């Protein structure tokens, strides 16, 4: 039986570590945190100096028993990740196994390779209580906020809501950015470009400053018709582009989003797998430091592959506080391994990490920039022609994405040029950009809010809780005025462009705006950017042994709890943003827009607490598409109370009604609901509704290959399949689905694997 028990936090990591240890070692996983605060209780004794109560969650009881049994008679080695969370996991394992943290072997490694693990076994240390205390402080702090703030939201806004300390600040950033965009007033100007002829070669140029309006732009082009042009100053200067530092957690998330289109959650999941399988170093880090061995390996690879002139060794300096230079940036464990990973996503992310790591040790790219001024005889303004030539590609050899060469013909000062064409095109100033997941990470990092382990769960949580939606925006058509000068003739026209199209941007829901406004009014300090950043600094102080963690919590709770008590006086109507729109001219009843149980709604009539049976109950209706609580008008609201609207009848006399549900507008026939994609439920005619129903019937008939009652054979987006409504089975390609008998279809369904049940790793906070 093995004499040594190594405990890591994930099963995948356990398998990889076990490959490098001998038969005297057994490797097991704690599956994340083996103990945590209880789910149904605050779990913090505030009166006893914020003493936390930890317990083994029900889903961890089995593994807890297995760990206890394996630990008997064994030397225990704690090998969870080297960060605050990993240190706390190791400390909780000690408590579970009744081991002394001061006497138990704690080993850490930044990469899961044989040399790293062997070195760690030779140099064990004790558990770092400062890191444990910092994690406990964060956990208890977030529990206090969530446990006391969430019930306030249940009473004032909607039951089931929750508010987190960092999540609420992230939501505030997105809400405020959306309001900036809504309040933004675009300003028009005209950008002037021209094409000149230099001895048969074209020279594109641009006026340095934009012109204020169409009148000024037209006057400028008219002046060009009588002008001569010549080359003024010609300036050539060398330039360079240097490689970026190796990846930290946040820069990896940002670059994976930009280059690969990965979400923050997807990036961290893939990176976790690469780390656990020994392909990359630890992926939760804010250090840009590289180990000497890694730098030497990169230099050798670069020199052997591209030549000595491509190598330029450098060590980057980590700027963020709390990052430890002993930690490393994210890099491949073996520079010579050009591809790694079990699937395409892992392979793409590994390649990105490999390229960034190698590029960081390569020479800068050398560029020659040229700027030519072109003077106008009739005007003081000057056109600028610019060019850029890549002289030496340097790090771009492996980490490309640079711009193509923009080469200008040889031009000399005083050389005459001929104007071929000029254009003044209207432009509009742009509002601030909406946040993507990557730019939100950058902003949180810039403000000092959160740490590497918090970005992905924070962004996932605010989407999962319905505060934020990730959307693609189609943009709107906008007509731009264009004034062209060609062959001495000025022409004016308009061109239509799509403005404001965006992909995968984060937008706040109305729920987010309501909750944010409530928190800003009654809990301003909790969602204050500086306060939240200061809390992170105080957690760093605890991790460095400069502050006692209970003292931080005491100071926080001293001003937080009175805010909770004060918020009890807030009215529900105020919190729900109840807005009176007007009165129904037919009944005289008050019409309001408010936030209801399932989102924004319209209400006609008042709710009363009198309890009278004959008292009319208020009626509710959805908001019109595109309207908000703040913007909806009485004229828009009144027709919404006509739903459900009777449209007419089918050809066989069944009633057709139109309505709007949680998933949008639809028509209904008996128990059949058919979505309306391009028809207005307020105006759809009987004939149009019949056609929608007929088209739906044809599509459904085409989808069904065979109907055996509960068992059906259907056509799907990935091919034919068998289903009973709960379980699906794909039909093999060499099998004709139209010839399948019921018994054969049932056997395919019986043989199909059940959907896997995923075990969640302990949360990183």
In the chain, CATH 3.40.50.140 covers 4-127
Bridge partners, 247 (sequence order): 330
Non-local (6+) Cβ contacts of 303 within 8 A are: 310, 311
Confidence category of residue 403, pLDDT binned at 50, 70, 90 = low
Output phi, psi for 661, to 5 deg.
-115, -170
In the chain, CATH 1.10.290.10 covers 249-363
In the chain, CATH 1.10.460.10 covers 141-184+440-467+509-568
CA distance 433 to 435: 6
Is the domain spanning 249-363 CATH 1.10.290.10? The answer is: yes
CA distance 194 to 213: 18
CA distance 21 to 16: 10
CA distance 374 to 208: 11
Confidence category of residue 483, pLDDT binned at 50, 70, 90 = very high
Among the listed residues 287, 210, 267, 253, the one whose alpha carbon sits nearest the alpha carbon of residue 436: 253
Q: How many CB atoms lie within 10 A of CB 463?
A: 17
- Asked whether 418 and 225 are in contact (CB, 8 A), the reply is no
In the chain, CATH 2.70.20.10 covers 188-242+374-428
Mean pLDDT of 747-754: 86
Give kind and range of the element (H or E) at residue 442. helix 437-447
Looking up tokens 């060590």 gives: 315
- At 594-629, the pLDDT tens digits run 887 777 889 998 765 444 556 678 888 888 887 888
Mean pLDDT of 127-134: 95
CA 722 to chain centre: 36
Q: Among 95-109, 413-427, 460-474, 566-580, whose mean pLDDT is lowest?
A: 566-580
Residue 701 scores a pLDDT above 90: no
The DSSP bridge pattern shows strands 229-241 and 365-376 to be: antiparallel
Looking up tokens 């001929």 gives: 418
CA distances from 387 to 201, 234, 367 (A): 14, 11, 10
Confidence category of residue 718, pLDDT binned at 50, 70, 90 = confident
Residue 640 scores a pLDDT above 50: yes
DSSP symbols for 443-458: HHHHHT-S-TTTHHHH
Provide the 3-class DSSP secondary structure of residue 209: coil
CA 126 to chain centre: 37
Report pLDDT for 759: 38
Active site residues: 282
Residue 205 scores a pLDDT above 90: yes
Report pLDDT for 72: 92
CA distance 288 to 331: 10
CATH class of the domain at 188-242+374-428: mainly beta
For the whole model, what pTM was predicted?
Answer: 0.80
Which CATH number does the domain 4-127 belong to among 3.40.640.10, 3.90.550.10, 3.40.50.140, 3.40.50.720? Answer: 3.40.50.140
CA distance 101 to 103: 6
Confidence category of residue 299, pLDDT binned at 50, 70, 90 = very high
Half-sphere exposure (Cβ direction) of 88: Cα atoms closer than 13 Å? 25
Which range, 94-98, 152-156, 326-330, is most confident?
Answer: 94-98
Mean pLDDT of 554-565: 93
- Residue 429 burial (CB < 10 Å; 0-12/13-18/19+)? exposed
CA distance 169 to 153: 16
- Asked whether 393 and 365 are in contact (CB, 8 A), the reply is yes
**In the CATH scheme, what architecture does the domain 141-184+440-467+509-568 have?**
Orthogonal Bundle (1.10)
Report pLDDT for 609: 46
- At 353-371, the pLDDT tens digits run 999 999 999 999 999 999 9
């Amino acid at each position: 039986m093995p004499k040594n028990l190594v405990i890591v936090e994930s099963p995948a990591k356990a398998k990889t570590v076990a490959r490098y240890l001998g038969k005297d070692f057994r490797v097991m996983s704690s599956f994340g945190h083996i103990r945590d605060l209880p789910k149904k209780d605050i779990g913090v004794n505030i009166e006893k100096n914020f003493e936390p109560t930890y317990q083994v969650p029900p889903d961890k009881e089995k593994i807890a028993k297995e760990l206890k049994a394996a630990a008997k008679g064994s030397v225990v080695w704690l090998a969870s990740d080297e960060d605050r969370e990993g240190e706390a996991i190791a400390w909780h394992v000690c408590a579970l196994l009744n081991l002394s943290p001061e006497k138990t072997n704690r080993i850490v490694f930044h990469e899961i390779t044989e040399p790293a693990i062997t070195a760690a076994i030779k140099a064990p240390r004790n558990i770092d209580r400062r890191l444990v205390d910092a994690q406990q402080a964060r956990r208890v702090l977030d529990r206090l906020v969530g446990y006391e703030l969430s019930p306030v939201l249940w009473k004032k806004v909607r039951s089931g809501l929750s508010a987190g300390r960092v999540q609420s600040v992230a939501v505030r950033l997105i809400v405020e950015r959306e309001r900036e965009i809504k309040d933004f007033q675009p300003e028009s100007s005209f950008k002037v470009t021209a094409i000149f002829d230099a001895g048969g070669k074209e020279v594109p140029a641009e006026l340095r400053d934009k012109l204020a309006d169409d009148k000024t732009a037209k006057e400028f082009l008219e002046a060009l018709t009588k002008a001569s042009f010549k080359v003024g100053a010609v300036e050539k200067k060398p330039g360079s582009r240097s490689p970026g530092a190796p990846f930290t957690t946040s820069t990896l998330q940002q670059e994976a989003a930009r280059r690969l289109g990965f979400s923050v959650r997807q990036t961290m999941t893939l990176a976790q797998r690469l780390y656990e399988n020994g392909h990359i170093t630890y992926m939760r880090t804010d250090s840009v430091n590289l180990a000497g061995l890694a730098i030497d390996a990169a230099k050798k690879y670069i020199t052997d592959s591209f030549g000595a002139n491509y190598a330029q060794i450098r060590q980057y300096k980590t700027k963020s506080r709390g990052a430890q230079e002993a930690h490393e940036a994210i890099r491949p464990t073996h520079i010579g391994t050009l591809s790694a990973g079990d699937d395409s996503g892992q392979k793409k992310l590994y390649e990105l990490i490999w390229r960034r790591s190698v590029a960081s040790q390569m020479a800068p790219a050398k560029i020659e920039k040229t700027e030519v001024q072109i003077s106008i005889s009739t005007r003081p303004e000057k056109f600028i022609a610019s060019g850029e030539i890549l002289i030496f590609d340097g790090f771009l050899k492996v980490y490309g994405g640079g711009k193509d060469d923009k080469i200008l013909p040889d031009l000399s000062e005083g050389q005459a040029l001929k104007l071929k064409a000029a254009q003044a095109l209207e432009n509009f100033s742009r509002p601030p950009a909406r946040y993507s997941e990557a730019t939100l990470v950058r902003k949180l990092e810039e403000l000092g809010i959160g740490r590497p382990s918090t970005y992905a769960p924070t962004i996932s949580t605010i989407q999962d809780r319905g505060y934020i939606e990730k959307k693609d925006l189609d943009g709107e058509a906008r007509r731009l005025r264009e004034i062209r000068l060609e062959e001495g003739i000025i022409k004016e026209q308009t061109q239509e462009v799509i403005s404001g199209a965006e992909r995968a941007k984060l937008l706040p829901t109305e729920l987010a705006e309501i909750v944010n406004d409530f928190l800003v009014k009654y809990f301003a300090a909790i969602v204050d950017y500086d306060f939240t950043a200061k809390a992170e600094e105080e957690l760093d102080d605890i991790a460095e042994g400069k502050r006692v963690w209970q003292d931080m919590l005491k100071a926080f709770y001293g001003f937080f709890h009175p805010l909770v008590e004060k918020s009890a006086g807030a009215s529900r109507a105020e919190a729900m943003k109840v807005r009176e729109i007007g009165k129904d001219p037919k009944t005289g009843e008050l019409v309001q827009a408010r936030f209801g149980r399932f989102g924004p709604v319209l209400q006609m009539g008042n709710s009363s607490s009198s309890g009278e049976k004959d008292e009319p109950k208020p009626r509710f209706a959805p908001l019109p598409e595109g309207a908000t609580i703040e913007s909806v008008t009485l004229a828009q609201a009144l027709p919404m109370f006509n739903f459900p609207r009777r449209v007419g009848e089918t050809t066989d006399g069944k009633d057709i009604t139109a309505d709007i549900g949680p998933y949008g507008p639809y028509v209904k026939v008996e128990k059949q609901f058919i979505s309306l994609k391009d028809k207005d439920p307020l105006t759809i005619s009987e004939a149009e509704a019949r056609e929608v129903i007929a088209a739906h019937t044809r599509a459904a008939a085409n989808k069904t290959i065979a109907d055996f009652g509960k068992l059906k054979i259907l056509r799907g987006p990935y091919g034919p399949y068998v289903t009973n409504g709960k379980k699906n089975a794909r039909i093999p390609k060499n099998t004709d689905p139209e010839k399948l008998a019921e018994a054969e279809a049932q056997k395919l369904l019986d043989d199909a694997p059940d959907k896997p049940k995923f075990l969640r790793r302990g949360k990183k906070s």
